[in-house]
Amino acid sequence: MITSKKVLTDIFDTVQSQQHFANMILGTTICTNFRQTLNNRNMELNAIENEAHILASQRGWELEDLQPAEKYFQSKRIRRKLRGCTSDTYIAEMLICDMTDRLNQGLRALHQWNGADSRIRILSQKLIDCENAGIRQLQQYL
């Protein structure tokens, strides 16, 4: 059985990973509208991240930032995928695939969790809604 702390940690990790991915993409040559879409998404993710911190501190838990090694390997993987192809279409596809994978992982975890903590359940749903909205927004660049 997955604990509430594990679900909150997964939410936090997903948010930080998505922010890191988006920030790397923002460093490439993308159109202005795409850049604005990613910036807006980052603002939504920041709000979820802040709420996760609040929930964790209220419960006496600590949330750890993504480890430098994780960021390094994620950066390396993204740079390798971007090598030679930085079109908005290709980047949107990469982001959608990553978001879909994370969404599936999160949903699997939620199905294994008893969902006793309503505030964490609400935050989980907020992240799921954010991911779904992000996928819909990015589809216009395909």
Structural domain boundaries enclosing 94: 4-58+66-139
* CB contact at 8 A, 74 and 17: yes
> Cα 5 from chain centroid?
18
Confidence of residue 44 (pLDDT cuts 50, 70, 90): very high
Domain CATH code at residue 80: 1.20.1260
Residues 6+ apart with CB under 8 A from 57: none
The residue that leads in pLDDT, 130 or 27, is 130
Evaluate if pTM is beyond 0.75: yes
The total of structural domains in the chain comes to 1
CA dist 25 and 52 (Å) reads: 24
Q: Give the tens place of pLDDT for each residue, 70-117.
A: 889 888 988 888 887 778 899 999 999 999 998 898 888 888 898 889
Q: Check if the beta carbon of residue 27 is closer than 8 Å to that of residue 139.
A: no
Helix axes 118-139, 32-58, angle to 10 degrees: 170
- Give 95's contacts (C-beta < 8 A, 6+ positions apart): 21, 22, 25, 134, 138
